[in-house]
C-alpha cells in the first residue's frame, strides 16, 4: 500500500515533492489510483519471491522515509503487516499507541497532525471514530492512510477477494468487475436487467441463458458466454456461475482466490417458479447479497395460490365484460405470470416491451403460451375478455384506455405494503416477486455457510443490524442496483 504513487528519493537527495494522496476510503480514491495500488502490489510481491522476510526490497521505495503508525485501536495483524512492510521497503517506523498520545484530549487532532507532519513522511492511523481520521487528513501536510475506523477498513478491503469501488464490485486478482455501473474493460454479468447489465463495457461474460437478452438490450457487444458451474481461470481468480432463480439465465457468481471463496448473488429468489433455473446455494466464506425485500413483512404468496388468484380475477372480469390489465416487468415477471395463467380463459395480449422479451426467450427454447402483440387495431372489441400484460409505466395511459372497461392489477412484492396498490391506482394487487422474500433471504444466507455478509440494495440498514444480531460479520455496501423499485420505468426493468 505504501509508496505506490511515487518513489522515495535516494539517500542524500532531496525528498520527492510529489506524494500519493490520502487513502481514506475506497469510494473516494480515484479509480486509476486503485488500479495502481493493486498492480504495484503485485509487482512488489513477485519481486520478493524467494527472498527472506528480513531482506529489503531491491529498489527500496521507502528508503529515507519515516512512517508514523498510530494505533488508537490496537491490532496485532495490522501493526505487524504495516511495520514489516515499511521496513522491507527500506523505510523506518514510529509506532504510537493510544497510551503514547493525547489524541483529541490534551492535544487536538489538528495539532497532532501538524506536529507529526514535521517529523514523518506518512501517517497510518487505526482509530475508533471516522471523524478522527478525517481531521487528521485535513490538517496533516503528509499523506494519511486509513488503517481502520468505525465506518470503513479500506486496506483490508483491498486485500479481499472482492472490493467495492465507484464503478462496481472489483476483483483485484482477476482484474474484472461484477455488474459494474460505470464503463470498465471486463464485466461479469449476473443477469440481463438494466441495472446489472449496462452498456459501455469493453468485454462481457455471462451465462448462455442471459446472453440473448443482453444482446437484445445492448446491441452488438463483445460477449463471451459460459455454462452454469463451468470454472474459468481469470488472472489469479477461479470463477464460476451458478443459478440464482431470479429470471431465466440469471446467476450468482462464485470467485475463488487462494482458497478463499466469495459469492455475488446478483438478484435472486429461492422458490422455484417453473421458468427460471432454480436457485442453488453456493458455500462460501463471504456472500454479497441483495436485500430488496429485507423486512419480515415481505412474504410471498405460494405459487399454487397465486395461480388461483390471478385466474379467478381474470374469469370474474371476463364474465362482467371487463378487460383484465396486469402490470408486470418485461423480463422475468411477465413470463412467470404467463406460465401461471390458464390460456383457455381467453386471449392473452402483450405490451411491446414484454412481447419483444417473449420472442427472445422463445428463441432460447423457453415454453410460453401463445400471446398477441398489442397493435393500434387491437381493442376490447377485437379481443373481448382478454388478459393484457402491460409494463408498469403503461398502466393508466392512453395505451391502456383503448381496452374500455377494465380491471387493473399490479404484480409485485411491494403489494405486501399497504398504500402501494392505491399509489399504483390498481384495483387488485398480487404479492409476487422475482426477488427473495424475508424468509428466502435468511435461508439463502444460512445455506451458504458464509460468516461475512455484505448487504447491497434494499433495506440494508435493517437487514445488516438483523444479521449482526445473529452473529454474522455483516456490512452495508452502497451500489447503483435498483432491485424491484415500484416506480421503476427504465424499460420497465428489462
8 A C-beta contact, residue 436 and residue 444: yes
Q: Give the model's confidence band at 488: pLDDT under 50 very low, under 70 low, under 90 confident, else very high.
A: very low
Q: What's the pLDDT band for 8 if we cut at 50, 70, 90?
A: very low
Q: How large is the C-alpha radius of gyration of the chain?
A: 27
| DSSP track, 13-29 | SPPPS--PPPB--GGGS
Structure confidence at residue 10 as a pLDDT band (50, 70, 90): very low
* Three-class secondary structure of residue 281 per DSSP: coil
pLDDT tens string 73-117 = 999 989 999 999 999 999 999 999 988 887 767 789 999 999 999
Task: Work out whether the CA dihedral 276, 481, 184, 4 comes out positive or negative.
Answer: negative
- pLDDT for res 57: 94
Do the strands 169-171 and 232-234 form a parallel or antiparallel pair, or are they unpaired?
unpaired
pLDDT, mean over the chain: 90
pLDDT digits (tens, 9 = 90+) for 329-343: 999 999 999 999 999
Residue 32: CB atoms within 10 A of its CB come to 8
- Measured CA to CA, the distance from residue 201 to residue 194 in angstroms comes to 13
Tens-digit pLDDT profile for residues 216-248:
999 999 999 999 999 999 999 999 999 999 999
Q: What is the DSSP letter of 165?
A: -
CA dist., res. 128 & res. 132, Å (int):
8
Residues paired with residue 480 on neighbouring β-strands, in sequence order: none
C-alpha to C-alpha distance for 442 and 293, rounded to whole angstroms = 11
Length of the chain: 494
| Residue 185 CA: distances (Å) to CA of 167, 178, 182, 202, 251 | 11, 11, 10, 4, 21
Q: What is the pLDDT of residue 166?
A: 83
* Statement: the pTM of the whole predicted model exceeds 0.75: yes
Is the confidence at residue 173, as pLDDT, over 80? yes
Q: What is the CATH number of domain 303-430?
A: 3.40.50.10710
> Do the domains 303-430 and 26-40+60-159 match in fold?
yes
The tens digit of pLDDT for each residue in 382-402 reads 999 999 999 999 998 999 999
CA 42 to chain CA mean position, Å:
26
CATH topology for 163-298+435-492? Metallo-beta-lactamase; Chain A (3.60.15)
Residue 300: per-residue pLDDT: 97
Q: Which CATH number fits domain 26-40+60-159: 3.40.50.1370, 3.40.50.300, 1.10.1060.10, 3.40.50.10300?
A: 3.40.50.1370
Given its phi and psi angles, is residue 104 left (phi above 0), alpha (psi -120 to 50 degrees) or beta?
A: left
Region 463-478: what's the mean pLDDT? 93
- Structure confidence by residue, pLDDT tens digits, 427-458: 999 999 999 999 999 999 999 999 999 999 89
The pLDDT, as a whole number, for residue 423 is 64
**Contact 127/72 with Cβ under 8 angstroms?**
yes
Reported confidence tier of residue 422, pLDDT bands at 50, 70, 90:
low
Strand pairing category for 251-257 and 237-243: antiparallel
Domain range annotation of the chain: 26-40+60-159, 163-298+435-492, 303-430
Amino acid at each position: 500500500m505504501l509508496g505506490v504513487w511515487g518513489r522515495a528519493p535516494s539517500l542524500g537527495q532531496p525528498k520527492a515533492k510529489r506524494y500519493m494522496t490520502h487513502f481514506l476510503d475506497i469510494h473516494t480514491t480515484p479509480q486509476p489510483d486503485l488500479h495502481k495500488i493493486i498492480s504495484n502490489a503485485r509487482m512488489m510481491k513477485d519481486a520478493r519471491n524467494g527472498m527472506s522476510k528480513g531482506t529489503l526490497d531491491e529498489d527500496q521505495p521507502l528508503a529515507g522515509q519515516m512512517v508514523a503508525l498510530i494505533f488508537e485501536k490496537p491490532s496485532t495483524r495490522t501493526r505487524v503487516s504495516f511495520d514489516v512492510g515499511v521496513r522491507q521497503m527500506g523505510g523506518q517506523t514510529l509506532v504510537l499507541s493510544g497510551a503514547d498520545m493525547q489524541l483529541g484530549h490534551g492535544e487536538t487532532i489538528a495539532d497532532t497532525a501538524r506536529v507529526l507532519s514535521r517529523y514523518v513522511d506518512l501517517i497510518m492511523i487505526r482509530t475508533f471514530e471516522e471523524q478522527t481520521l478525517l481531521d487528521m487528513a485535513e490538517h496533516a501536510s503528509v499523506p494519511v492512510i486509513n488503517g481502520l475506523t468505525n465506518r470503513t477498513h479500506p486496506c483490508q478491503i483491498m486485500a479481499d477477494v472482492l472490493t467495492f469501488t465507484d464503478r462496481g464490485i472489483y476483483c483485484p486478482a482477476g482484474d474484472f468487475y461484477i455488474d459494474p455501473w460505470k464503463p470498465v474493460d471486463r464485466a461479469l454479468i449476473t443477469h440481463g436487467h438494466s441495472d446489472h447489465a449496462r452498456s459501455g463495457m469493453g468485454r462481457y461474460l455471462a451465462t448462455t441463458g442471459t446472453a440473448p437478452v443482453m444482446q437484445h438490450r445492448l446491441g452488438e457487444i463483445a460477449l463471451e458466454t459460459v455454462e452454469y458451474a463451468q470454472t474459468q481461470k481469470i488472472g489469479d481468480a477461479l470463477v464460476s456461475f451458478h443459478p440464482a432463480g431470479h429470471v431465466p439465465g440469471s446467476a450468482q457468481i462464485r470467485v475463488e482466490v487462494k482458497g478463499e471463496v466469495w459469492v455475488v448473488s446478483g438478484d435472486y429468489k429461492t422458490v422455484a417458479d417453473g421458468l427460471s433455473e432454480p436457485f442453488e446455494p453456493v458455500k462460501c466464506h463471504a456472500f454479497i447479497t441483495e436485500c430488496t425485500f429485507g423486512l419480515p413483512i415481505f412474504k410471498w404468496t405460494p405459487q399454487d395460490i397465486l395461480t388461483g388468484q390471478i385466474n379467478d380475477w381474470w374469469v370474474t372480469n371476463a364474465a362482467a365484460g371487463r378487460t383484465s390489465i396486469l402490470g408486470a416487468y418485461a423480463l422475468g415477471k411477465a413470463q412467470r405470470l404467463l406460465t401461471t395463467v390458464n390460456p383457455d380463459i381467453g386471449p392473452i395480449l402483450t405490451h411491446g416491451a414484454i412481447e419483444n422479451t417473449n420472442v427472445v426467450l422463445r428463441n432460447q427454447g423457453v415454453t410460453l403460451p401463445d400471446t398477441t402483440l398489442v397493435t393500434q387495431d387491437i381493442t376490447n372489441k377485437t379481443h373481448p375478455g382478454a388478459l393484457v400484460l402491460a409494463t408498469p409505466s403503461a398502466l393508466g395511459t392512453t395505451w391502456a384506455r383503448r381496452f374500455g372497461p377494465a380491471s387493473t392489477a399490479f404484480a409485485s412484492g411491494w403489494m405486501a405494503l399497504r398504500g402501494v396498490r392505491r399509489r399504483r391506482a390498481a384495483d387488485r394487487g398480487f404479492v409476487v416477486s422475482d426477488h427473495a422474500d424475508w424468509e428466502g433471504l435468511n435461508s439463502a444466507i444460512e445455506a451458504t455457510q458464509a460468516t461475512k455478509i455484505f448487504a447491497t440494495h434494499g433495506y440494508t440498514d435493517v437487514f445488516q443490524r438483523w444479521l449482526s444480531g445473529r452473529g454474522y460479520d455483516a456490512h452495508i455496501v452502497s451500489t447503483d442496483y435498483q432491485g424491484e423499485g415500484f416506480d421503476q420505468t427504465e424499460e420497465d426493468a428489462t
